[in-house]
């Protein structure tokens, strides 16, 4: 099949690479020439600057210029393409609605090109990015408006999690195809022939609107489950006596019907999808006059979780942030990515600056560049000058009065030793990810410890005793 993937971000680029592995002739198209030049170079660091996914650069190098081509111009190729995958960013607006302006611009451009083609071959436009229910119908109307002949529209939502895009595309748990005609289903079966009738992969054919809804239902259910653990599990272990968070989690999730994924309590789930999708679904249902109480509660719980540790530090640990220096470890929304979109760290920074901290010493193994793009703009707000950037966790800890762990990077598991070597009590450790299995050692040594899913643990007083238990005597000078 001759396929054009429109938009080469996190969704489009891995999709194009994996489609080309299946022997299709794939054109990855983007209006940004810098991106296209980076991908064409096949240079890993240049590719990862835009999309940081394990295995992506190798996958591109494998099929580039054989089955996979990059371009900023599809005016020729569009003439005889079979399928267009729309992988365009659809950011949220302030009221929760989805901003479709980039998507609609691209749809109009493509429709204008297709209206001019000579061939009468069937062409299908497939929505892969998450778009409100009914968007396939909007696309259909745009194509009609431009007078495009013999076309179909479809919805084929993306279910990948960041950090697993290539493997997830090669072996998805499901492929959902929403279309209107048997002819279009058939074309998409040819695109995904390796997944049709697969023993482990569910290949679901349905209406475009159902396919669009499956994506929203999936993401909001995952966030609901995380929020159950954050809003109920963590509260039980923090507030009721003698409850151990890890045992609670193991005991509950031992039931085969209950997932372990999502039971890792945290200072809030972030990323480019969960927050955006739940807000969009709330907006869509409100517009339709349907009730959204559960979704609204889930959204509120997740937002509350992003800053509540700062409040707990003030009220439970009696910590006064005013003029204090705080090390902030982890800026990305989860480990193994440099993506900071809707990261809990963004809200933590706002809360800390609001409480008057003197300095935030930030460190993340991958997201330092992204962080500086977010924050290194003192003209936007002079408070941003208070954020400093460091090359290691230990550097960030130096001279701080407290540390806030915001991302579940593996390297933070060994942090207690680094803390002990770098900063002395009185000192407050705020663990938003329960990353420190040996926190008791820190408490013994006098460090205060505050974690999601545990009551506050004040550091034990450090008592120095002389080795023979004798009484210290001070003699007056003669």
Q: Among residues 68, 123, 148, 273, which is the contact residue for ligand UGA, using CB under 6 A? A: 273
161 binds ligand UGA (CB under 6 A): yes
Contact by Cβ (8 Å): 105, 26: no
Instruction: Say how far apart CA 365 and CA 85 lie, in whole Å.
Output: 33
Q: Among residues 110, 222, 328, 430, which is the contact residue for ligand UGA, using CB under 6 A? A: 222
Instruction: Say how far apart CA 165 and CA 69 lie, in whole Å.
Output: 19
Nearest to ligand UGA of 271, 453 (CB atom): 271
Instruction: Say how far apart CA 70 and CA 468 lie, in whole Å.
Output: 77
User: How far out from the chain centre does Cα 375 lie?
Assistant: 18
CB atoms within 10 A of CB 444: 11
Nearest to ligand UGA of 334, 347 (CB atom): 334
162 binds ligand UGA (CB under 6 A): yes
Instruction: Say how far apart CA 174 and CA 169 lie, in whole Å.
Output: 10
- Per-position x/- string for 16-55, each x denoting binding to ligand UGA as judged by CB under 6 A, each - no binding: ----------------------------------------
Instruction: Say how far apart CA 434 and CA 431 lie, in whole Å.
Output: 6
Q: Could you say which DSSP state residue 104 is in?
A: H
Q: Interacting stretch for ligand UGA, rule CB under 6 A, among 114-122, 155-163, 188-196, 310-318?
A: 155-163
Contact by Cβ (8 Å): 160, 14: yes
Active site residue 42: no
226 binds ligand UGA (CB under 6 A): yes
227 binds ligand UGA (CB under 6 A): no
302 binds ligand UGA (CB under 6 A): no
- Per-position x/- string for 419-458, each x denoting binding to ligand UGA as judged by CB under 6 A, each - no binding: ----------------------------------------
CA-derived radius of gyration, the chain: 26
Instruction: Say how far apart CA 156 and CA 127 lie, in whole Å.
Output: 6
Instruction: Say how far apart CA 166 and CA 17 lie, in whole Å.
Output: 8
Question: Within a 13 Å sphere around the CA of 170, how many CA atoms are in the beta-carbon half?
Answer: 9
43 phi, psi to nearest 5 deg = -85, 125
Instruction: Say how far apart CA 312 and CA 297 lie, in whole Å.
Output: 21
333 binds ligand UGA (CB under 6 A): yes
271 binds ligand UGA (CB under 6 A): yes
Instruction: Give the DSSP H/E element, type plus range, for residue 126.
Output: strand 123-127
Strands 68-71 and 359-363, sheet pairing: unpaired
Q: Among residues 50, 185, 228, 264, which is the contact residue for ligand UGA, using CB under 6 A? A: 264
Nearest to ligand UGA of 47, 269 (CB atom): 269
105: tokens are 């611009």
- Per-position x/- string for 399-418, each x denoting binding to ligand UGA as judged by CB under 6 A, each - no binding: ---------x----------
| Interface positions, 103-132, toward ligand UGA (CB under 6 A) | 130
Q: Could you say which DSSP state residue 129 is in?
A: S
Closest distance of CB 10 from ligand UGA, Å: 8
308 binds ligand UGA (CB under 6 A): no
Question: Count of residues binding ligand UGA (CB under 6 A)?
Answer: 22
Q: Interacting stretch for ligand UGA, rule CB under 6 A, among 31-39, 178-186, 259-267, 349-357?
A: 259-267
Q: Interacting stretch for ligand UGA, rule CB under 6 A, among 14-22, 74-82, 268-276, 361-369?
A: 268-276
Q: Interacting stretch for ligand UGA, rule CB under 6 A, among 196-204, 256-264, 278-286, 470-478?
A: 256-264
178 binds ligand UGA (CB under 6 A): no
Q: Interacting stretch for ligand UGA, rule CB under 6 A, among 24-32, 202-210, 219-227, 315-323?
A: 219-227
Closest distance of CB 232 from ligand UGA, Å: 14
Q: Which residue reads 């396919």 in tokens?
A: 211
Nearest to ligand UGA of 263, 338 (CB atom): 263
402: tokens are 């407290």
Looking at 16, 222, 226, 273, which residue is catalytic? 273
389 binds ligand UGA (CB under 6 A): no
Nearest to ligand UGA of 339, 401 (CB atom): 339
- CA distances, 239 to each of 236, 299, 312 (Å): 5, 22, 12
Q: Among residues 262, 275, 425, 453, which is the contact residue for ligand UGA, using CB under 6 A? A: 262
Q: Interacting stretch for ligand UGA, rule CB under 6 A, among 38-46, 98-106, 231-239, 263-271?
A: 263-271
64 phi, psi to nearest 5 deg = -55, 135
CB atoms within 10 A of CB 308: 19
Handedness of CA 41, 44, 45, 50 (dihedral sign): positive
Burial (CB count <10 Å: 0-12, 13-18, 19+), residue 318:
exposed
Residues tagged active-site: 273
List residues near ligand UGA by CB under 6 A.
130, 158-162, 219, 222, 226, 261-264, 266, 269-271, 273-274, 333-334, 408
């Amino acid at each position: 099949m001759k396929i054009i993937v429109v938009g080469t971000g996190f969704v489009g680029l891995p999709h194009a690479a994996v489609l080309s592995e299946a022997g299709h002739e794939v054109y990855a198209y983007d209006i940004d020439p810098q991106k296209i030049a980076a991908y064409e170079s096949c240079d890993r660091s240049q590719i990862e600057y835009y999309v940081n996914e394990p295995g992506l650069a190798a996958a591109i190098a494998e099929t580039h210029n054989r089955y996979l081509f990059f371009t900023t111009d599809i005016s020729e190729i569009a003439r005889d393409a079979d399928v267009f995958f729309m992988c365009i960013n659809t950011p949220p607006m302030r009221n929760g609605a989805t901003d479709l302006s980039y998507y609609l611009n691209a749809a109009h451009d493509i429709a204008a090109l297709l209206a001019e083609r000579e061939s009468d071959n069937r062409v299908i436009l497939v929505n892969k990015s998450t778009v409100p229910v009914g968007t396939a119908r909007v696309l259909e109307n745009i194509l009609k408006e431009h007078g495009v002949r013999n076309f179909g529209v479809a919805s084929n939502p993306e279910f990948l999690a960041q950090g697993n895009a290539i493997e997830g595309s090669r072996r998805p748990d499901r492929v959902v195809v929403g279309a209107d005609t048997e002819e279009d289903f058939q074309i998409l079966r040819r695109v995904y022939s390796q997944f049709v009738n697969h023993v482990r992969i569910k290949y679901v054919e349905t209406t475009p609107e159902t396919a669009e809804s499956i994506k929203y239902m999936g993401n909001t259910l995952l966030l609901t489950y995380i929020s159950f653990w954050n809003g109920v599990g963590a509260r039980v272990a923090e507030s009721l006596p003698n409850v151990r968070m890890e045992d609670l989690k193991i005991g509950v999730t031992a039931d085969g019907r209950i997932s372990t994924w999502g039971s890792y309590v945290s200072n809030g789930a972030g990323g480019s999808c969960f927050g955006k999708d739940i807000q969009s679904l709330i907006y869509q249902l409100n517009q339709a006059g349907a009730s959204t109480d559960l979704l609204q509660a889930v959204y509120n719980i997740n937002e509350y979780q992003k800053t509540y540790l700062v409040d707990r530090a003030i009220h439970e640990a009696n910590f006064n942030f005013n003029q204090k220096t705080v090390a902030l470890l982890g800026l990305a929304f989860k480990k193994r990515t440099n993506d900071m979109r809707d990261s809990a760290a963004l809200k933590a920074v706002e809360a800390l600056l609001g409480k008057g901290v003197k300095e935030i010493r930030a460190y993340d193994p991958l997201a330092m560049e992204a962080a500086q793009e977010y924050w290194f703009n003192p003209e936007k707000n002079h408070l941003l000058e208070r954020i400093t950037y460091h090359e290691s966790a230990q550097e960030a800890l130096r001279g701080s009065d407290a540390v806030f762990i915001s991302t579940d990077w593996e390297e933070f598991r060994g942090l207690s030793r680094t803390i002990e070597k770098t900063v002395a009590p009185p000192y407050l450790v705020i663990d938003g990810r329960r990353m420190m299995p040996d926190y008791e050692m820190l408490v013994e040594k006098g460090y205060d410890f505050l974690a999601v899913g545990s009551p506050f643990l004040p550091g034990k007083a450090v008592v120095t005793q002389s080795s023979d238990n004798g009484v210290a005597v001070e003699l007056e000078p003669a």
